[in-house]
Structure 1
Amino acid sequence: MRLFVRIVERRSFTVAAQDIGVPRSTVTQVIKQLEERLGVRLLQRTTRVVSPTLDGEAYARRCIAILAEIENAEGAFGGAKPKGVLRIEVQGAIARHFLLPGLPDFLAMYPDLEIIMSEGERWVDVVREGIDVVLRYGQLADSDMIARRVMVMHRMTCATPAYLERFGKPEGIDDLEGHRMIGLRSLTTGQLAPLQFAIRDDYRTITLPAPVSVTGTESYLATALLGFGIFQVPHFHAKKHLATGALLPILPDNLPPSVPVSLLYPPSRQLSPRVRVFMDWATRRLGNEGS
C-alpha cells in the first residue's frame, strides 16, 4: 500500500522506489502482484508518466486512510516516537531565521525522523512532489490545502543612507514621486508587487519605477542593500542591517500591512504522527519567536 500510494503521488516507479528505499524491480513486482490479487488495473503507464486509473484513485484514497490508522495505532504502544522521512517545503529566509536554529533540539526529541527540506518561492503541487508540509509567507492562493496560521509578520519600508542622500528622505506618501523601488516579481504571474502604505483604516498601493527586479527574497534584500531603491520587508529580515545603520526606516506612520505565515498540508492525508509533531513544534517555535 505504501509503495502504491507513493507511486500515485510521485507519478513515477523510479522516484517512488527511491523515496521508499527499495529497488525499482521490487516496485514493479509488488504492483503486478497487487493488481493480480485485486483483479483490477490500478495504474496506467506511458513512457513519461504513471497515473492511476479510476479504480486506482479509489483504492489510493482507501490506502491513505488505512496507512494513517496503522501509523497511529503503532505509535500508541510502548511510547514509540514518530519515525521516517518528513518532507518539508519552506521559503528560505523563514527557514534560516526561525526553523533551522531550533532543528537540533527537535531532532534530539525525535531521533528517528529524517528531515528533507526544500526551499522555494513557487507554489508546489505537494501531492505530486511528495511534500508532507509546506511553510508559506504571505496571503495564500485559493487551494484545497488545509492551512494553519502560525504567526503574523510585521513589515516596514526601508532604504539605504546612500539612496536617501541621493533622492531625499520622503516624509509622506506624496513625497514618493521621483523615487525608485526594488521590484519583487511573482514567479507565477510575472507581475511586480506594488508598495503598500497604511492610510487611516485603509491601504494605498504605489508602483514606482524599478531599475532592478528579482524573484527571491534574499536577492530582494541584497539588491536593496546596494541602494537601488525603496523596499518593504518583514522586520526580522532587516533587523541586523537596521542595527548597523546599513538600512534606515522610512514612512513609519504609513506601515505596510502585516503578512501571515502558515503551515499547509493536503486534505487527502490524515496527519501522521511525524507530521503532527513537526507542525506542533513549528507552531510553538514561530509563535514564540514572533516577528
Structure 2
Amino acid sequence: MDQLSAMRVFVRVVETGNFSRAATALDMPKTTVTNLIQGLEAHLRTTLLNRTTRRVMVTTDGALYYERATQILSEIEELDGSLSNSQAQPSGRLRVEMAGAFADLLVVPALCDFHTRYPQIQIDLGVGDRLVDYIAENVDCALRAGTPSDQSLIARKVSEMQMITCASPAYVERNGLPSEPEDLTRDHHFAVAYLQAQAGRILPMGFERNGETKEIVPRYVVSANDARTYMTAILSGFGVAQVPLFMARDALADGRLVPVLTDWNCEPLQLYVVYPQTRHLSNKVRVFVDWLVKLVRTLD
C-alpha cells in the first residue's frame, strides 16, 4: 500500500463527505479510492470511516487521524515547494486568521488582486478575534493587532495603526463629554471595553499629551472580543472607545460618531503578521505575507 496516497485519499473523502465525490476530485476510479481506504484501515488496524448508503461518517480514530494527516501533508507540500523551482507560481491551500474588521474592510476587497497574481493558491479565511492553536488547527498565518505574546510564533510587524477616541452622539447627549481620561473610570461615564481573547483581560486605553502618558482601565457596560461587534456597540451608544481610524472614518464623516478627548492622542496600535516557525519556508505563506504587508501599509 502507498500510505501517502492513501492518506491523501482519506483526507479528500473526509472533506468531500463522499467516496464518489472524492474520486471525481482526485480523478481516479471509485474502486481505487475504496481499496486505498480499506488498505489504510487494515494497516492501522482501526476503522476510520463508517459508511452508510447515503453518507460517510468519520469515527473518533478517523477524526484524530485526519487532523494529523492534514498537518503532515501540508508540511510535505511546504517542503516540496521550498526546494522546487515553482516560486513564481506557489500553490495549495492557505489557512489564514484575522479579525472580522480587517477581513471585511481591508483584506477581502483586495483578494481578487492576490488571486490574479497567485491563481493556484486557495485561501481558507478564518474570521474572529479568538485564541488559535496554530499547529493543531493547521493555521498558516494570522493578522493580529497588538504585540504577540506567544514566543513560539514568528511575528513580523507590518504597521502602526492610527487610533481615535470617539463615541456616538446618543451617548454624548445622554452622558456628556468626558474632560479627562480619568472620567472614564468614575461618575457617569462608561467605555466600550475590548476583551483580549488571548489573555482573557480588558485592554487598557492609552492616552498621550505633551509627553505625559496615561493608561486607563475604564468602567464599562459592554465588552467584546470581536472588532465588528465592538464597533456596533460603540455606534449603539454604549460608551467611549478607541478604534483604528480606518474603521471609524466613514462613521465620523457622516456623524454617527464624534471625536472625544480631542486634546489627548491615542497610542498607536501595533499590527503584526504571525505564523508558526514550521511555516516560514512555505512559498504560499511567503507570498501572502509579502502581499499583506504592502496592503496593510496603505493604512499608514
Decide: shared fold, TM above 0.5: yes
User: C-alpha separation between the residues in 2 aligned to 1:4 and 1:266?
Assistant: 27
TM-score for both structures, normalised by structure 1:
0.76
Report the Cα distance in structure 2 between the residues aligned to 1:265 and 1:4, rounded to whole angstroms: 29
Question: Displacement of 1:18 after TM fit?
Answer: 3.0
TM-score by length of 2: 0.74
The alpha carbon displacement at 1:222 in A equals: 0.8
Of 97, 111, 124, 1:89 maps to 97
> CA 1:283–1:208 in structure 2 vs 1: closer, same or farther (change >3 Å)?
closer
Superposition RMSD on alpha carbons, in Å? 3.6
Residue 250 of structure 2: SS of its match in structure 1? helix
Q: Give CA-to-partner distance per residue, 1:45-103, whole Å, 9 cap, x none.
A: 9758748xxxx9xxx99x987754422343x26x8511221111111111222211111
Distance 1:163 1:133, change over 3 A: same
Q: How many residues end up aligned between the 2 structures?
A: 268
- The answer for the alignment partner of 2:29 in structure 1 is none
Which amino acid is the alignment partner of residue 117 of structure 1? L
Q: CA deviation at 1:153?
A: 0.6
Q: State how far apart, in whole Å, the 2-side matches of 1:254 and 1:3 are.
A: 61
Q: Which amino acid aligns with 1:218?
A: R
User: Per the alignment, do residues 161 and 66 of structure 1 end up closer, same or farther by CA in structure 2, a change over 3 Å counting?
Assistant: closer
Unaligned runs of 5+ in 1: 7-12, 35-44
CA distance in structure 2 between the partners assigned to 1:15 and 1:254 by the alignment? 55
Which whole-Å deviations, capped at 9, do the CAs of 1:149-202 have from their partners, x for residues lacking one?
111111111011222222222233355442111122233454332322224445
Q: Which amino acid aligns with 1:99?
A: V
Is the 1:149–1:261 contact (alpha carbons within 8 Å) kept by the matching residues of 2? yes
- 2:124 is aligned, of 101, 116, 119, to 116
Structure 1 residues 123 and 25: alpha-carbon distance in aligned structure 2, compared to 1, 3 A threshold: farther
CA spacing shift, 1:245–1:267, aligned 2, 3 Å: same
Where structure 2 has 5 or more consecutive residues not aligned to the other structure, the ranges are: 17-21, 27-32, 45-58
In structure 2, C-alpha distance between the alignment counterparts of 1:213 and 1:205, rounded to whole Å: 18
Residue of structure 1 in register with 2:55 after alignment? none
| Whole-angstrom distance in 2 between the partners of 1:214 and 1:26 | 47
Seen in structure 2, the aligned counterparts of structure 1 residues 193 and 2 have a Cα distance that, compared at 3 Å, is farther
Q: How does 1:100-179 map to 2 (within 5 A)?
A: 100-176=108-184, 177-178=186-187, 179=189
Residues 280 and 129 of structure 1: CA distance in aligned 2, closer, same or farther (over 3 Å): same
Give 1:104 shift.
0.7
The answer (yes or no) to whether the contact 2:181–2:216 under 8 Å persists in 1 is: no
* Conserved? CA contact 2:196–2:203, under 8 Å: yes
